[in-house]
Structure 1
Amino acid sequence: MEYIFVTLLLFVSILIYFKIADKYNIIDKPNHRSAHTQITLRGGGIIFPIAFIIFCFFNFDEVIQNYWSFGLGLLAICTISFIDDVRTLSNKIRLSVHLISVVLLLYFTGAFTLMPVWVWPILFIVIIGTLNAYNFMDGINGMTGLYSLVTLGSLAYINREVIQFTDHSFIYYPVLACAVFLFFNFRKKARCFAGDVGSMGIGFWVIGLITLLIMRTGEYKYILLLSIYGMEVVLTIMERLLLKENIFEAHRRHLYQLFANEKKVSHLIISFVYALCQLIINIFLIHSQLPIWVVFLIIFIPAGVVYLGLKWSLKKKYNL
């Protein structure tokens, strides 16, 4: 009953936001990087911090005791991201808030206690890099929501069937938020886009859960729950560096962008395929008893070959 009520609250919340966004012209205008051609409401991903606020109401004592640092980090990164959606902020301001949020996230997961000091800078780099990867990959209808739903579903399965590393509801709330967001976003003509507040918000929540799982189990293989995003972003950055391009400037070199913009494949099909590929990897990952380096090789060698082959073929065909 609780989850039905939460779902209704999330629907009402996002519909209220639509009215606010429409009134104050919070929109996403297509540019040379965009895979869409129509003006659409931006910031629909505000539903993710709202989901955490609702979580606080239903689990107040638990939040005060265990989740306060995560909540502060999430709300901080979502607030600065939403402001950046409305008006462009300097990189220094955004990075400063990101660093503070990551500190709070690592405190929440117990990393400062469980990991030696020399590992801390590595964790900062990996988490901030992963957050930005989440943001880079938010470019077409359904991508962020569907991919996150697969990862969260995998985490929920692990939490229930393999090892309980957190409260079940702490995973179910973002699952419900993803489902509600997808109702408005997983369409040929999306009603709204996630915006930075959405990609950073759900990215922070997912990364927090994965980090918590790794800290509880000592199994670093679970970072591969985001392996498709990781491979795509790393290979694209390497390509841009080889071409001597500024990796911080907007571009259309991701494989999903080539399929959407040049080949004109449906956004929904692309998003579904990315999510399906990650789901297949997750099923193998969860049930595998192989050493982590073997798992890495089994996942990344065939996936990398397919990725590079498809990208080379598209670039050759469209003279890119």
Structure 2
Amino acid sequence: MGIVDSPHRQSSHTGDVVRGGGIIFFVAYLLWSFSHDFQWLGGMIGLTILAGVSFIDDIRDVNPKIRLACQFVAIILMLYHSGLVRNSPHVILLLSFFCVGTLNIFNFMDGINGMTGGYSLVVALALLYVNTNVVHFASSDLIVMMILSLIVFNLFNFRLRTICFAGDVGSLAIGFIFVYLVLRLCLRGESMSWIAMLSVYLVDGGLTILHRILLRENLMKPHKKHAYQIMANELEIPHLVVSGIYMALQSVCCVVYIMWPGYPAFFAIFGALTVMYILFMKKFYHLHENKGGIYN
């Protein structure tokens, strides 16, 4: 299939689209790293491994076990060399599974025009605000560099007829950087509840994975069961509208948490999103089932 993604049964797009456009996120990180004397060396090595394998996977399929192994290696390097974890191996293991799961959720959500670029821009802007005005947890230059790369990417992705998708290299790279930034924020803010900054993706991705486990499906196989996929495919809502909904939801979640930081807001946000997800699926999932088959 190569770097050009032609539409198929699992796709939510029509027409040929270039994959791997999100390599700009990796390039942006490298530029920041070069200009800041490789402050985050372990992260750079981990991200390079992750981006390299992912870019190859965008061109030709890589064994899923190799992909997964590289993701764990990248995350463990990030955790050890960024000063995020000084606890027991059990804590590192749990964080590793959470981080790898989050990376893959970012990958799963890169399916329609504007989703990865739009959602990530909201998160990046919120993180920049927090870093500047609430808790300083990372280099503002890094966040600004990611925002600039997202703006450029959106010029080609956030449009009626998209020119490129982020691809594995882009979705996993931006997911990796956000995981690092949010974990740094949790550490400096002394609360894991800052994970709310990624709440919309985590709820949609996490509950969809749980749903597929309950259906006894192979999680390594492609599917179209995410809420955004049902909106775009079964309900035929325009892609940019769906992406806009996710951007708006995450914006509200970020504002609510920033105004009332702490676990009460965390549980309120995740609780409200979970109820919304369940009600949506209860009302519309039958449309997906009526089409039949895992890929429909």
Q: TM-score range by the shorter chain?
A: over 0.9
Q: How far 1:250 sits from its partner (Å)?
A: 0.8
The letter of the residue matching 1:283 is V
Secondary structure in structure 1 of the residue aligned to 2:141: helix
Partner of 2:293: none
Secondary structure in structure 1 of the residue aligned to 2:22: helix
Provide TM-score, normalisation by structure 1: 0.86
Q: How far 1:302 sits from its partner (Å)?
A: 2.3
Partner of 2:4: 27
Q: Does 1:52 align with 2:24?
A: no
CA distance in 1, matches of 2:120, 2:184: 17
Partner of 1:206: 178
Give ranges in structure 2 of 5+ residues lacking alignment: 291-296
CA distance in 1, matches of 2:142, 2:110: 23
Partner of 2:220: 248
More helix by share: 1
Q: Does 1:39 align with 2:16?
A: yes
Instruction: Specify which of 107, 113, 117 is matched with residue 80 of structure 2.
Output: 107
Report Cα offsets for 1:42-63 as digits up to 9, x if no partner.
110110111122223433x3x2
Q: How far 1:318 sits from its partner (Å)?
A: 6.0
Q: 1:289 to 1:80 in 2, by over 3 A?
A: closer
Secondary structure in structure 1 of the residue aligned to 2:40: helix
CA distance in 2, matches of 1:317, 1:33: 16
Q: How far 1:242 sits from its partner (Å)?
A: 2.3
RMSD: 1.6
Give ranges in structure 1 of 5+ residues lacking alignment: 1-23
Q: Does 1:304 align with 2:281?
A: no
Instruction: Specify which of 282, 295, 304 is matched with residue 265 of structure 2.
Output: 295
Secondary structure in structure 2 of the residue aligned to 1:44: coil
Partner of 2:294: none
Partner of 1:20: none
Deviates more, 1:102-111 or 1:131-140: 102-111
CA distance in 1, matches of 2:127, 2:81: 17
Q: Identical aligned pairs, as a percentage?
A: 38
Q: Contact (CA 8 Å) 2:64, 2:220: kept in 1 or not?
A: no
Instruction: Specify which of 152, 159, 167 is matched with residue 187 of structure 1.
Output: 159
Provide TM-score, normalisation by structure 2: 0.93
The letter of the residue matching 2:251 is L
Which structure 1 residue ranges, 4+ long, deviate > 6 Å from structure 2?
none
CA distance in 2, matches of 1:317, 1:89: 33
